[in-house]
A and B are shown apart, each in its own frame.
Chain A
Amino acid sequence: METKAIMIVGVGGQGTLLASRILGHVLQSAGYDVKVSEVHGMSQRGGSVVTYIKYGDKVYSPVIEKGQADMVVSFEQLEAARFVPYLKKGGTLLTNTQKINPMPVITGACQYPEELIAKMENMDINAICVDALSAANEAGSSKAVNVVLMGVLSKIMKDFPVEEWRKAVDACVPAKVKEINEKAFELGTALID
């Protein structure tokens, strides 16, 4: 199989690394060669964060560049808009509609752009926009946005049995927040048809 490329993007502290770990588990269970690439350190402190996940018969480069991603999963609107250029033509964007202001917006140096969701829905991509924050809050913690989005993703990546996703969630989340995350995952699966 030709190598597929998925990006998980968001704001440092939103739990993108855990999401990439869950996805990595699912892909591994399907027997693919997998590479997951993340950046640690300074950029994690509330900055824009990116994880690359690639799978196929044989994966070489762990990195995804502009025009190379089959899918971008974004935890935040602005980050979705920032990383849309990484999608191939006709690629899929799954984004949380949550907005988190970056420092230049907080200080008033820039405006948070308007109508981003509508603009992205009008592009030559398959845009899926969900309110993962509300679902996470319903599950019991705003921190469960990552697992809600994995629930949505499990509905998009239908080739992978939902049981494998559930197993991956259980394997990756800390034991004491397992119940919240299990609920978050199920609520995520219900966000799209």
Chain B
Amino acid sequence: MANVISDETIEYVGILAKLELSGAEKENAKQDMEKMLDYIDTLNELDTAGIEPMSHVFPVNNVFREDVVTNGDGHEAALANAPKQKNNSFEVPKTIG
């Protein structure tokens, strides 16, 4: 069955993705997604009942180590990449009214 992506869905996915798409971009995104989902739906031909989802090929275990500081104070180098900084901190727009 052909997938139909509504304006509301694209709006909602845009919020999740933190992307602001223009009108033309939204139309393209709808078409792209419909086409891709139609293609992805071929997976429904496969019977996967009882198959465990495999997130990693090898067993992944938590890797623990002692919590010992090995790096020095890198705040100057880290802040050097910030688009805006103030008082030794990243500067962001006001978040609390």
Does A associate with B in a complex? no
